Structure 1
Amino acid sequence: MTREPVAATEVFKALGDPIRWNIVQQMAQQEELACSVLEDTLPVSKPTISYHTKILTQAGLIEVRKRGRNYFYSLRREVLRSLMDEMWLLAPGPRLVVDGTATGPSSADRPALKAAVGDDTARPAALLTW
């Protein structure tokens, strides 16, 4: 299945709503998120959740899988990475590189290095590149 390219403007429009931003944040914490979780965590109705997930799907940010009567959502992380790459072209500067790939992992995901001789404290390491 080939996917259409995702327009950055559509992604930004979709992320501009606080409810949709909350949905994306919840999806980023898991591989797959059940709709029932959104129903429990969001202060909106089921039809409103459906509306917001439809917009996120149309923008290319999420994929939807139906199993029986249940819907499951997963974040298309490659779309966000591509968007970050596009943004970086507009304002280049130092960028975190992990394992040869420009990314932005949390400090917990970075390898730890010892800062100096005699210092046994492990600290997150990062390589910044242009």
Structure 2
Amino acid sequence: MFKALGDPIRWSIIQQIAQADELACSVLEDTLPVSKPTISYHTKILAQAGLIEVRKRGRNYYYCLQREALRELIDELWTIAPSPRAVGDAPARPRHRRGRQAGSRRAAAEPAAAAEVALLTW
């Protein structure tokens, strides 16, 4: 799965499919800077890795993300490096983008969004 996700074109495909329940191949043809055979090659790798499901309807192909496969991958990663894990309806914001500095009064004064996430620790 990591090898399949490591290519920038395949990562773009995953991101586009994740934004829709189902994505037609024609959309990928319009948004990616590669040929139709190259899109086919990349989607085949993603399907073999179990990350997407491919459905053919007439002459058209449609792709949907195998979200459960991604969840399982994330869960496996958490078993390797467990730490407090944010859960809830809204995804937690990445820590590295906050720009929080040690001793910053503003950062210390910001209230935690308790309604959005809860921390699980072990």
Amino acid at match of 1:12: F
Q: Deviations over 1:5-44 (max 9, x none)?
A: xxxxxx0000010000000000110100000000000000
Amino acid at match of 1:59: A
The size of the alignment, in residue pairs, is 101
Taking the aligned partners of 1:125 and 1:62, their CA distance within structure 2 comes to 29
Aligned twin of 2:50: 60
Aligned twin of 1:26: 16
Are 1:17 and 2:7 an aligned pair? yes
Aligned twin of 1:129: 120
Taking the aligned partners of 2:81 and 2:70, their CA distance within structure 1 comes to 17
The aligned runs of 1:48-87 (5 Å cut-off) are 48-87=38-77
Say which structure is richer in strand: 1
Q: In angstroms, what is the RMSD of aligned CA positions? A: 1.7
Identity of aligned residues (%): 71
> What TM-score, normalized to structure 1?
0.73
Aligned twin of 2:108: none
- Helix, strand or coil: the match of 2:91? coil
Structure 1 stretches lacking a partner, 5+ long: 1-10, 108-122
Structure 2 stretches lacking a partner, 5+ long: 94-112
The one of the two structures with greater contact order (alpha-carbon pairs below 8 A, sep at least 6) is 2
